[in-house]
Amino acid sequence: MSQLNGTIPQETVKTVTPAIDKTKKPKVTKLPELFLDGGSGRTKSYLEKISGSYQSVVRIFPKGHELPVGFLGVFKVGENGYAVGDSALSLAGGKLEEGYANDNKIKLLPIWIIGALTTHPNFLFKQAKKSKAEVVEIELKLSLLSLSSHRKKEIEKAISDINFEFDERKFKVKVSDYTIYPEGYGAACAAKQFIKAAKGKDVKFHVLDLGSGTFTHTPYSNLNGVPRASNQNSVSGAGVMSICEFFAKESAKGDTGGNIYHFSRLKEALESSRVINGEYLAEIILGDSSRELGDRLRSGLESWSREIIGVRELLRDVKQLLRKNERIFLTGGGFKVEAIRHFVTEYLNSELVTVLDNPEDVNITGIR
């Protein structure tokens, strides 16, 4: 070791830099989740932030029947043709079946799933564009509402083999996982968020769901921030179609100028009805003229709330709950109708009654 000018050179120190692992972590693919709410009047769906719905009817065509091209909700399963919703009502031939009559909820579950995909087919088109295979394979998670059944073996069998043909392409759907939610659960989740936003600490609250065919009251306990249902009370045959029938009955009373109102027109008048300064307005179109039936609609709503025992008792029970300072949240397609919404909220007459945003779809879009 040399010594110059009295200095001793230091030994060279080597610094080792640890190697950086540039291996990318495998990307986890999140499966698309189809929410399916099968009501007696309409089947609603929610997939990739897009909601859709169709009337819960199906037309089944025999082998060899030529299906129209370009119709939503028209598809083939094996040798048979199917059409759901508006297409089922507009096409002729085959056999028309009410989807939720005769305990068909599970038997026809694959048809309702395919119907949801083919009545709002952007998802199918996107999957088909990515695939060059003869059969486009799709893997989904499935969330079921309003199924009124927990027979898991039957459900698993129904969703185990979903193959269909749509828009001249073949598809195979694999359901990798499924969940069953109680009716109105999405609305309960939305109600829980409402309570939280209002800085409330409500342990108990209630969801009142008015659909096409049923009127349902469900109590919920907000345990650890998770809504749990109990003692669900459903009045079958007391939904919007029942209100429309009472409206039709009232419209036929007295001097109607010789007019016979078609039920579908009355339904349209109900759906577009309004309430201005407490006055009910429901206009029905009659050729080149129109007739105002708002007073008949109000009478029909009063008859509905009075003459159906289940509705009368349900509304009385809800009034009693309001006296206990328990919140009531209104949901379902019935509360999208302004006249119905006004009538029920006026009848209950409490600040604790809240109509949830987007009541016709919140049962599926609100799930957390």
Domain of residue 104, CATH code: 3.30.420.40
Q: Do 217 and 84 belong to one domain?
A: no
> Residue 8 has what pLDDT?
43
Q: In this predicted structure, what is the pLDDT of residue 29?
A: 67
Integer Cα distance of 87 and 121 in angstroms: 14
Q: How many domains does the chain have?
A: 3
How far apart CA 218 and CA 234 sit, in angstroms, is 8
Together in a domain, 284 and 154: no
pLDDT reading at 125 higher than 60: yes
Are 53 and 122 members of one domain? Answer: yes
Asked if residue 8 is part of any domain, the answer here is: no
CA angle 176, 365, 350 (to 5 degrees): 145
User: Is residue 147 a part of any domain in this protein?
Assistant: yes
Residue 58's pLDDT is what? 93
DSSP state of 317: H
Q: Do 168 and 224 lie in a common domain?
A: no
Q: Using CA atoms, how far apart are residues 221 and 230, in angstroms rounded to an integer?
A: 8
Is 2 inside a domain boundary? no
What domain range is 273 assigned to? 240-254+262-303
Q: 131-185 pLDDT, tens per residue?
A: 889 999 999 999 988 665 566 788 888 888 899 999 989 999 999 988 888 778 8
Nearest-angstrom CA–CA distance, 85 and 57: 6
Is 12 within a domain?
no
Percent pLDDT > 90 in the chain is 50
Q: What is the mean pLDDT of residues 72-87?
A: 93
Q: Does the residue 319 lie in any domain?
A: yes
251-303 pLDDT, tens digit each: 888 665 445 678 888 999 999 999 999 999 999 887 777 889 999 999 999 99
Total-model pTM: 0.79
Q: Are both 246 and 130 inside the same structural domain?
A: no
Q: Do 230 and 105 share a domain, yes or no? A: no
Is 22 domain-assigned?
A: no
CA distances 351 to 210, 218, 326, 346, Å, are: 20, 19, 11, 11
Q: Is 21 part of a structural domain of the chain?
A: no
pLDDT for position 31: 87
